[in-house]
Structure 1
């Protein structure tokens, strides 16, 4: 899956783009939102423009203005006037809104639960979770069945850079259910579980134990196969447990050798 989403706040959050443009847009957006919320706590009416920008920004995350209204618990008619004005009466978009309306709309955030199901998002955590389950012995066909996907779509998902929100949610549910379950106890034949593990090893996929909950979704994180990955000590442990040496361990050992040679 590919996307032509422009650089900005949405690309920063959904695709983990950290280019200068995306980082600045995200900072500006967050600062503007915080100021608008603070401003709306004491004025009888507040400027509608920050609220209007926020609602439009939610659209970049697949949250249309009608859905934003429902999530905020405000009338769709009010949000329609905020964005488009009162056309029958020839009035333009609202210039001011009540603070309680502003706070409710500004309180709608592009969280996973609020995002549209078909919105493309970063697939890092989805890939790692599915690959870890295959390493544990879960066959791809069994995982596809549990995710209600056909085998071809699953094969693309397990290596995809971007996935749909609904796929991300389903993957997390399946992972949380299966990561501590022995595949054989759930009916996966021994020979098929062994074959799944061989595939995972041959492709360098990391097991469940190599990831922490706070790193598995981070594109910059790397799996800790040994408990010391990223250090010079990690390479020797790789050899001892018969797991191919990971890139961070190779780099760390090379740096150590260079330092020793220069000493």
Structure 2
């Protein structure tokens, strides 16, 4: 005896009578329910539309550093109502492929400018510019790529705060250039070598270094130890213990195996660096 094939996914009977709980069947049932209620009320019915444009819009926002959870919070809805456009939200609930025109319009209206803060900590911006210089990108060449004047880039590596728009532009430039060869993009060999020498003298970490610590580049509390000798690392540790942790100088010296004079010298160098 040949069994009768099941109705297709998305049909009313597949969900209601055969108990299928996949996202396609849920969407099909919700579509039927909306239409049925609208007809009973005598309202004009708006059918579900393709959700792919919503998905692509959310992926572009994610590429700009704005998560789907952040979009949901901005819209004042449950995170699953936004996340489901990008990925499955559970067993038997695949990615959403159809949605209401109203819901799609709300999400599509969200822009990067809506969610980027006005002023942000400049640690990540500064480190990304320094890392590009470490592989040979002169700061003046980065200005047009970032969208600011060449002279302003030199100021960015000294700032403690910057605008959200600038941080976003630097992040995009870094993603695009961190694996590139400057000489193949119009930078002269002399300029690239000069940028590398300056970065090496200032111990600016390269993109390869930051790739080992993917979450650290934006963390102002993370101190990179790129290009440092063991005595230099101990000196930096001593500075942190005294200035941040509040450990007395003599105790810091004893813990690290340094003399009091070495700790004092490290603190003096730190003060001079800050003044410079």
TM-score, length basis structure 2: 0.44
Indicate the structure whose relative CO is greater, using CA pairs within 8 Å and at least 6 residues apart: 1
Look at both structures and tell me which one has the larger radius of gyration over its CA atoms. Answer: 2
